[in-house]
Amino acid sequence: VALVAQVTVVGTGLIGTSTALALVKCGVVVRLTDRDPAALEHAVRLGAGGPLTGEDGPADLVVLAVPPAAVAPVLRQAQQARMGYHYTDVAGVKAPIVEAARRLGCDLSTFVPGHPMAGGEQPGPGAARADLFVGRAWALCPERVTSIRSVEVVRAVIELVGAVACDLTAEAHDAAAALISHLPHVVSSALAARLSDADPIALRLAGNGIRDVTRVAAGDVALWLDVLAHNAGPVTAAIEDLIEDLRGAVRDLRAGGSEALASVLRRGNDGRCRLLSESARPDDHHGAAR
Amino acid sequence: VALVAQVTVVGTGLIGTSTALALVKCGVVVRLTDRDPAALEHAVRLGAGGPLTGEDGPADLVVLAVPPAAVAPVLRQAQQARMGYHYTDVAGVKAPIVEAARRLGCDLSTFVPGHPMAGGEQPGPGAARADLFVGRAWALCPERVTSIRSVEVVRAVIELVGAVACDLTAEAHDAAAALISHLPHVVSSALAARLSDADPIALRLAGNGIRDVTRVAAGDVALWLDVLAHNAGPVTAAIEDLIEDLRGAVRDLRAGGSEALASVLRRGNDGRCRLLSESARPDDHHGAAR
């Protein structure tokens, strides 16, 4: 018997609907719910599953694809309604969510905090893709109290959608996410912000470099404010380290020196090399899966 | 008679060799020279043209594809040797180069300062592509003393390689380049620098966002130090504006506020929109040219 026959997805945004589409493709029965009836209807129309009804029994897994601030209260509600046997979420921060769930009295033994390392600038079900997670890392942050069975069920779902499960503590996740996702988002936005009142001639000259560097700046403002506020400590520390490097660059450029600036550029070369050699290479996996 | 029958390219790096390859494809006779014999031989082997000899008469155009600091002295030398009738360069800064050329006593009437808005992280002739400039903007910054004939010749070459000429003053170019190229390079490097000593787990979680944001950080350190030093004023101002936005974000994250942070994210959305709607859309052109 398969570990996962029926899944309920709460929140039919980009991540929730993409998860649902991938699971439907694998023959899983998927039920959907969203507080926005239009988003729910859109996801149903896309073939991501049927709407959740009062008749549906508990799902094998409930995927909470809601913004960080909503995860703990929605988990509490879902557990009280016996919506499923096991639960996971997909929010970009983990430790504060676990803490909030504990404070609200959620059952942490059936909740596996998770975070797929995939996304896109366009929010909503319309941007969803069944192959969004293929070859991507999917962080899992089980606590000591998390049941082994719950972790097994979530792992099975991660495998079904084609992602690669990656276990780490909630704290390690949040520090890593600050570095590879939250800091880049803030900085990319600050770069793109310079273009909001730039001379049109500058935009006409723009090439691929500035396009790549500012791509993530198109992300949803409200969602990102929520994510950043939930990971304020690690993000603040990362921004301040970066400001220190930028200050060194400014000092050098003013004084005609190059020591600090050269160090930033050289460490930039190194960091880029490490990223390409040690990260999951989602494109390779994607290519192989085609 | 075609405006451009013979072109000499000085410097067979990525930009020089790509220009040469594109011109050879159009039937232009191309002569190459580089102070590094290995780079010259590599470019010749790629079919980018023949090596320049003492027998070659003046070219219709001499393209100086050398680093910023070398442009003025090499221009002076080339003009003294009567290497061509008209001259242009491809360096990422313009006003300081014009100033240096003036100080060295170059003939500014035959020199059209230029800058193709295309490139890549891999330097050298091996990374060159005949289609590197297709659909890309190519900035031209003629001075009052520049002859109309020289501008016409350079425009003809820009058209031959498939780029889109974009006229502006050297000062406007340097301000624009600071915003769309130099600032993003420094910031992308500072972001990638955070990964040079990051926990390997962070790299394993890395997705497409951080990959895009740090792509240009792989650029050649020595070349970029030269470019940045030549545009220190505008780059410093741009970095300081960006630091101001980042400081606002830190203040908000510390105090639990969101006004400054939301402003950065919103202006980031706006800037990204403007970039996509007002820039040259190189990919569309590229697609159309296939």
> Nearest-CA distance from A266 to chain B in Å?
7
Length of chain A: 290
Residue B284: per-residue pLDDT: 42
Question: How much is the pTM?
Answer: 0.88
Q: What is the pLDDT of residues B55-85, one digit of tens each?
A: 899 999 999 999 999 999 999 999 999 999 9
Give the mean pLDDT of A77-93.
97
R_g (Cα) of chain A, nearest Å: 21
Q: How far, in Å, are A68, A98, A185, B99, B130 from residue A115 at the CA level?
A: 11, 13, 17, 54, 42
> Nearest-CA distance from A109 to chain B in Å?
25
pLDDT for A131 beyond 80:
yes
> Nearest-CA distance from B177 to chain A in Å?
7
B73: which 2 tokens? 């002295």
Q: What is the pLDDT of residues B209-243, one digit of tens each?
A: 999 999 999 999 999 999 999 999 999 999 999 99
Residue B54: per-residue pLDDT: 85
Q: What is the pLDDT of residues B250-261, one digit of tens each?
A: 999 999 999 999
* Coil vs helix vs strand at A25: helix
Cross-chain residue pair B201–A240, CB shorter than 8 Å:
no
A and B: number of Cβ contacts within 8 A: 359
Set of chain B residues whose Cβ sits within 8 Å of the Cβ of A215: 209, 212-213, 272
Residue of A166, A192, A272 with shortest CB distance to B268? A192
Set of chain A residues whose Cβ sits within 8 Å of the Cβ of B279: 203-206, 211
Looking up tokens 């290995």, which residue turns up?
A: B38
Asked if residue A194 lies in contact with residue B271, where contact means CB atoms within 8 angstroms, the answer is yes
Residue B76 to residue B7: CA distance in whole angstroms: 18
Set of chain A residues whose Cβ sits within 8 Å of the Cβ of B195: 179-180, 270-272, 274-275
Residue B121: per-residue pLDDT: 77
Give me the residues paired with residue B34 across strands: none
How large a percentage of chain B has pLDDT more than 70?
Answer: 96
Cross-chain residue pair B278–A175, CB shorter than 8 Å:
no
The ipTM assigned to this model is 0.88
Set of chain A residues whose Cβ sits within 8 Å of the Cβ of B275: 192, 195, 203, 206, 210-211, 214
Give the mean pLDDT of A136-145.
96
Residues 6+ apart with CB under 8 A from A8: A30, A31, A32, A33, A52, A56, A59, A61, A62, A63, A83, A84
Q: What is the pLDDT of residues B75-131, one digit of tens each?
A: 999 999 999 999 999 999 999 999 999 999 999 999 999 999 998 778 889 999 999
Residues 6+ apart with CB under 8 A from A269: B189, B192, B217, B218, B219, B221
